[in-house]
Amino acid sequence: MLKATGLCEFLGFISLNCTSEPDAQPERAVIMMVFWGRGAQRLFWMRTYIFLIVFLGMLAMASNVVVGQTAPNQAQLEQMASRFAPTPLRVDTSALSPGDRQALVKLIEAARIVNDIFMEQYWSGDLALYQRLQSDHTPLGRARLHYFWINKGPWSDIDEYKAFLPGVPPRKLPGSNFYPEEMTKEDFEHWVSALTPEEQEQAKGFFTVIRRKAAQPKAKGFLGPPDKLQDIFIIVPYSEEYKEDLTRLAGLLKDAANETDNPSLKKFLSTRADAFLSNDYYESDMAWMDLDAPLDITLGPYETYNDEIFGYKAAFEAYISLRDDQESAKLSAFAKHLQEIEDNLPIDPQYRNPKLGAAAPIRVVDQIISAGDGAHGVQTAAYNLPSDERVVQQKGSKRVMLKNVQEAKFHSVLLPIARKTLSKSAMLDVNFESFFTHILAHELMHGLGPHQIKVGDRDTNPRKELKELYSAIEEAKADVTGLFALQYMMDHSKQMGLGNVLPSDEAAQRQLYVTFLASAFRSLRFGLNDAHGKGMAVQFNYLMDKGGFVPHGDGTFSVDMTKIKDAVRDLDHDLLTLEAEGNYAGAKKMLDELGVVRPILKRALDRLQDIPTDIEPVFVTADQLAPAATPAPTTRTSAKTTRSRRRSRSH
């Protein structure tokens, strides 16, 4: 980047007096110009001065783009990509009906369109950059394309969204492409305050973007007041912003609806296709809750993680999966006891929900393909949807467990982590069933606790009150409430009739907490910019401060079973109360103090650098059933490099 002082030297033929504080940013350097002469000469120097001001302004704007910074080379990019263990996902679809097999092909094609929509939402320059990378066939170009595809953008998800390509902003934009890039949080709030209540609801809605209105031409010599904010920004529904892609998407869903012979799948696909064009997702969300089909489909705008400013805007994602009926029936037993758990949450009784929505459906599935927000960076292991509180109040929410993805994570990532972070005796207690069961409980707990609250005399909800802090607090709450709920069910296993589903002896309880400890290190590696990582930092530090997690001199950790249960209960109380009171200041204080990586934790994480952080799924079955026109970028042979067998969401 050119510094102002360098510019002065470069233009030394002009009488310039340049000053800059030693520690000041280059764009803050002060340039003073001494004009001399008169008439045309003076006019010339004044024009030159104006040119310099404009030029420096451009330099200042350029400071928001990675220009002089050295981008990773091929070897570095391959090392970064190696943190994601390639994992072939194969699913046996032979039991599907002929109609469902035809529908599945259309749905795989639809999922790939979701990638395009998500990338447009992620950053305004994302799709154009992707096209340029595809045309670079050098080894460096292929390495860049591969890591770009893992992240679906030029920023590394697990490196605090730092840029790994030249010529892009140094970090992912907090508002992604949901808002004008130059719009600040204060601009938005000031603008919204001048809107009507109906317009405010639309501006803060899940399914709209905010755009800058095209400037109106001014009369020559116009010197009037500047435009007001309410005249500068406009609200654009997704149905208009992504009209071309959504029209294609709706057509494929209609085709799939015509092929399937399952009534509930037919209804969901038809209503969701209509929603893409009307921007009203309520009916299709209700139909999704009623979906009961061998093909389990989630496709649309759902999670709001990428809106780091407010958490308002939903990103498009897709999960096309095959249901595991046997596992689903087994785990649905937990859902029957949610009201009892709600009635015993460690929170002031006034904040408990006396009547939850209908029993939450639980689906255990094997993923065939994921796309969009569901397929970048760390892969989703489970999710709990929808986000529409109206639907949650009437029908509850549905939990979907991606079992084949979870198994891959457990064997490729969690076991190697456990071997390096746990004491030898604790290592014996790590098992997949405990890992899988806690992820289930995590998803169930998103539906428990405060959802509709009062702050003063206002009816509101925790998401609106906690704003950008909500996701990290909610993920921590789901984790800790999951531990609390499982302990409660273990303590009351006989009365609840869970003996065949949930082991509850002393060994099972120890295995639950030890496996959670090992999993904590896995989540922390996602980084503090990730809601799960930030939330896990809060939990880890709190539980260690309370003596539940115990560090040892050799760098390993264990669980103190005499302290962990009370510590979990106390933390759960604090998190639930923050949400119940809509306490933004309290949530910020907790995240600022506990949502950090302390030295002892950093040393433990540094020992894990040779272990993959997560998996990179290779959608073998999807590619066989519906070959992609352009194969997914990769620089490695997935089958040979796999290290072992292979709202809210869990990673």
Q: Hey, what amino acid is at 523?
A: S
DSSP β-bridge partners for residue 318:
299, 371
Percent of the chain predicted with pLDDT > 90: 73
Comparing CA positions, the residue from 515, 593, 505, 611 lying closest to residue 557 is: 515
pLDDT at 8: 40
State how far the Cα of 502 lies from the Cα of 500, in Å rounded to an integer: 6
**How many C-beta neighbours within 10 Å does residue 120 have?**
18
Chain segment 107-165, per-residue pLDDT in tens: 999 999 999 999 999 999 999 999 999 999 999 999 999 999 999 999 999 999 999 99
- Backbone angle region of 160, left / alpha / beta, with phi > 0 → left and psi within -120 to 50 → alpha: left
**How many C-beta neighbours within 10 Å does residue 182 have?**
9
Comparing CA positions, the residue from 71, 73, 156, 77 lying closest to residue 636 is: 77
Listed in order, strand segments (DSSP E) in 280-361 are 295-301, 316-323
Would you state the torsion angle of the CA atoms of residues 222, 228, 230, 234, taken in this order, to the nearest 10 degrees? 40
Q: Average pLDDT over the chain, rounded to whole?
A: 87
Comparing CA positions, the residue from 315, 384, 628, 340 lying closest to residue 498 is: 340
Tokens 């309880």 correspond to what residue?
A: 509
pLDDT at 9: 35
Helices assigned H by DSSP within 595-636: 599-606, 620-625
Contact 452, 638 (CB under 8 A): no
State how far the Cα of 29 lies from the Cα of 20, in Å rounded to an integer: 5
Chain segment 313-346, per-residue pLDDT in tens: 999 999 999 999 888 877 778 888 999 999 999 9
Is the pLDDT score of 637 beyond 60? no
DSSP β-bridge partners for residue 212:
233
Supply the DSSP symbol for 70.
Answer: P
Which of the two residues, 93 and 381, has the higher pLDDT score?
93
Distance set, CA 346 to CA 335, 444, 450, 463, 589 (Å): 19, 16, 12, 21, 21
H helix or E strand, kind and range, residue 84: strand 84-88
Is the pLDDT score of 391 beyond 50? yes
Tokens for 198?
């109906």
The SS3 of residue 456 is coil
Contact 445, 477 (CB under 8 A): yes
Is the pLDDT score of 284 beyond 70? yes
The SS3 of residue 283 is helix
Is the pLDDT score of 270 beyond 90? yes
Would you state the torsion angle of the CA atoms of residues 187, 190, 191, 193, taken in this order, to the nearest 10 degrees? 160
Is the pLDDT score of 17 beyond 50? no
Is the pLDDT score of 29 beyond 60? no
Percent of the chain predicted with pLDDT > 70: 83
Determine the Cα angle at 105 with ends 102 and 106, to 5°. 95
What's the average model confidence in pLDDT over 529-536?
91
How confident is residue 44, by pLDDT bands cut at 50, 70 and 90?
Answer: low
Is the pLDDT score of 53 beyond 80? no
- Residue 4: half-sphere exposure toward Cβ, Cα within 13 Å: 24
State how far the Cα of 297 lies from the Cα of 264, in Å rounded to an integer: 11
Chain segment 549-594, per-residue pLDDT in tens: 999 999 999 999 999 999 999 999 999 999 999 999 999 999 999 9
Is the pLDDT score of 98 beyond 60? yes
pLDDT at 650: 64
Judge residue 459's burial from the number of C-beta atoms within 10 Å of its C-beta, 0-12 exposed, 13-18 middle, 19 or more buried.
Answer: exposed
Listed in order, strand segments (DSSP E) in 386-538 are 398-402, 453-455, 458-460
pLDDT at 10: 36
Distance set, CA 255 to CA 105, 107, 250, 626 (Å): 10, 9, 9, 15
**What's the whole-model pTM score?**
0.73
Contact 116, 259 (CB under 8 A): no
Chain segment 427-453, per-residue pLDDT in tens: 999 999 999 999 889 988 988 999 889
Is the pLDDT score of 19 beyond 70? no
What's the average model confidence in pLDDT over 226-247?
86
Chain segment 392-418, per-residue pLDDT in tens: 888 888 889 999 999 999 999 999 999
Tokens for 58?
């451009």
Chain segment 166-208, per-residue pLDDT in tens: 999 999 999 999 999 999 999 999 999 999 999 999 999 999 9
Is the pLDDT score of 28 beyond 60? no
